[in-house]
Structure 1
Amino acid sequence: MHGIKLKSANQSTHVPAGSGASITVTGLSKVFPVPGGEVRAVGPLDLHIERGEFVSVIGPSGCGKSTTMLMVAGLLPRSTGMIAIDDRPLAGPITDIGIVFQNHLLLEFRTAMANVMLQQQIRGLNRQALREDAEALFAKLGLKGAEDRYPAQLSGGMRQRVSIARALVHQPSMLLMDEPFGALDAISRTQIRHDLELLWLEQRMTVMFITHSIDEAIGLSDRVLVMSQSPGQIVEEIVIDLPRPRPAHLGEYPQFADYANRIYSTFEKLGVYRFK
């Protein structure tokens, strides 16, 4: 990752829509001031995600996963280090991006479709074209018939599906997801995981997926990056070589247990787990 020739930075970072963007992070850290001193929450941390790659970041609570994601998005200033999107130094919030948080963050006074169509209003996109794309996403995410319902009339799983549709309707180059399925039941998580994988296979945007779930990380990713306790650093990289699309029950692959054991073993070495 070192020695990369960087293109000039703009006030905001934009990458071509519909094509994945690479993410390069070098020496990244975040320090927060506290009474009597400061606390280092992240880093120093290095990582690289190729264009169109699906990468999960997994680690214990409080290790700085979400903080790292917010810095990559340009929504939180970094203390030290470099972030580059498609070899361009990050100089502000990324414009061509979709973000999904654990909380759906839908506007309660807008219908499901109106929430998704916010992208058209914010970005000044063609309304008819975006509406057609939104309708296609509703069908692919199992939301057909829910277009005119308000968030309070939807289940937790459906609200999160609307949130995903809102993040993808403008076909961003990057999708950042912070524990997006954390509040859902196991059945809903499995189905949405499958639907997300199919959408990613179709659009091939670059995905940075923050999770606590080893099953989700293995089930979705090309690579899994394991973070240490705070201040978080990348301590293990696991390449996931499983056929796609992947089944609901990953246990049918012998390799799945090997991948899971590597992650558990890393957490044991870090003292996150104490099984003995």
Structure 2
Amino acid sequence: MSGIPSLHDKVTQMRATPHVVKGIPPLAVAQERRRFIAASDVSKSFGDFRALGPVSVDIGEREFVSILGPSGCGKSTLMLIIAGLLQPTKGRIEVNGKVLTSPMTDVGIVFQDHLLLEFRTAIDNVLLQREIRRLDRAATRKRAEELFQKLGLSGAETRYPRQLSGGMQQRVAIARALVHDPSVLLMDEPFGALDAISRTQIRHDLERLWMETSKSVLFITHSIEEAIGLSDRILVMSNSPGKIVEEIRIDLPRPRPAYLGQYPEFDKYAEQIYKIFEKMGVYRFK
């Protein structure tokens, strides 16, 4: 129909005008973000087995960075080192300009397993942060209720984990990681155990929350689509011992749609990543 802009026209217009949401800078100025986390020449060995590195990674303030790589390449090991939960064999981690010498506290962590306590209701699992961190009761409760609403969990507050679907359990885990409003969010394959429909919805919800809160996020994933759909930058890791072999900056407007295939750029990014994995021998298509 004449007079109605096509999808191509909309995308062209969004790309011509940098898409800034709640203070999040467009990709054109993403490199100017102040570096918040820096891993310098980090490696990790377990006895004679070198599992990781050396790897150098930096994450800027309000930046969403994904690490994408084959199984066993050391992605989770790197995340645990960045969190201060595992000591590197060599190298160091800096957070906000200071060397990390103990576990990071201004952080929320989400694992593939939701790790909810079965004897606590959904909201009580989230409010566990209040008890551990000795936070204000009323303020934390209000924040938890807001997160439940934004994550599509309204009405599930008093249910126990066994009464929730896998997707709902993982949403509760995300709420628990965010309820104390940390500056850093670390996520290790958080959607890996979910069905495709649930993964798409939670990806959308996570992006919306990140746009509102502007946290620095490190997202570990095997999913090329998730990495492209969420990230400002993707760091591609090699086979074990994992090293960063490619950095890809994702220039797509936000919020991104559920079906990323409507952007021609998506196919280009995906093809680039598949070729990297094929070159490393992760994929053997020929």
1:29 aligns with 2:43: yes
Contact map agreement 1:42 1:232 (CA 8 A) in 2: yes
Rounded to whole Å, the distance in 1 between the matches of 2:99 and 2:240 is 26
Question: Paired residue for 1:128?
Answer: 138
Deviation at 1:47, TM superposition (A): 1.1
Question: Paired residue for 1:259?
Answer: 269
Question: Paired residue for 2:70?
Answer: 60
Question: Paired residue for 2:164?
Answer: 154
Q: Which runs of 4+ in 1 moved over 3 A?
A: none
* 1:126-205 mapped onto 2 (5 Å cutoff): 126-205=136-215
String of CA shifts for 1:129-182, please: whole Å, max 9, x gaps: 010000000000000000000000000000000000000011100000000000
1:99 aligns with 2:113: no
String of CA shifts for 1:56-94, please: whole Å, max 9, x gaps: 000000000000000000001110001101111010100
TM-score (normalizing by structure 2): 0.88
**3-state SS of paired residue (2:152):** coil
Given the alignment, which residue of 194, 199, 218 partners 2:228?
A: 218
String of CA shifts for 1:82-138, please: whole Å, max 9, x gaps: 110111101010001000000000000000000000010000110000100000000
String of CA shifts for 1:242-263, please: whole Å, max 9, x gaps: 0100000000000000000111
**Comparing both structures, which one devotes a greater share of its residues to helix?**
2
Rounded to whole Å, the distance in 2 between the matches of 1:225 and 1:61 is 15
Rounded to whole Å, the distance in 1 between the matches of 2:233 and 2:106 is 23
Contact map agreement 1:21 1:52 (CA 8 A) in 2: no
Rounded to whole Å, the distance in 2 between the matches of 1:254 and 1:170 is 38
Rounded to whole Å, the distance in 2 between the matches of 1:232 and 1:87 is 25
Given the alignment, which residue of 49, 58, 61 partners 2:59?
A: 49
Rounded to whole Å, the distance in 2 between the matches of 1:26 and 1:227 is 15
String of CA shifts for 1:39-70, please: whole Å, max 9, x gaps: 00000111111111000000000000000000
Rounded to whole Å, the distance in 1 between the matches of 2:249 and 2:257 is 18
Rounded to whole Å, the distance in 1 between the matches of 2:119 and 2:105 is 25
Rounded to whole Å, the distance in 2 between the matches of 1:216 and 1:151 is 25
Counterpart code for 1:23: I
Rounded to whole Å, the distance in 1 between the matches of 2:246 and 2:167 is 31
Rounded to whole Å, the distance in 2 between the matches of 1:234 and 1:23 is 16
- RMSD between superposed Cα atoms in Å: 0.9
**3-state SS of paired residue (2:168):** helix
Rounded to whole Å, the distance in 2 between the matches of 1:81 and 1:242 is 34
Contact map agreement 1:21 1:173 (CA 8 A) in 2: no
**3-state SS of paired residue (1:22):** strand
Rounded to whole Å, the distance in 2 between the matches of 1:147 and 1:190 is 23
Question: How many aligned positions are there?
Answer: 253
Counterpart code for 2:36: S
Counterpart code for 2:261: G
Given the alignment, which residue of 73, 88, 98 partners 1:88?
A: 98
Rounded to whole Å, the distance in 2 between the matches of 1:50 and 1:264 is 26
Rounded to whole Å, the distance in 2 between the matches of 1:21 and 1:158 is 33
Given the alignment, which residue of 73, 82, 106 partners 2:83?
A: 73
Gaps of 5+ in 2: 1-33
Counterpart code for 1:143: L
Contact map agreement 2:35 2:58 (CA 8 A) in 1: no
Report sequence identity in percent.
Answer: 67
Contact map agreement 1:197 1:245 (CA 8 A) in 2: yes
* 1:106-125 mapped onto 2 (5 Å cutoff): 106-125=116-135
1:209 aligns with 2:219: yes
Deviation at 1:21, TM superposition (A): 7.3
Contact map agreement 1:137 1:165 (CA 8 A) in 2: yes
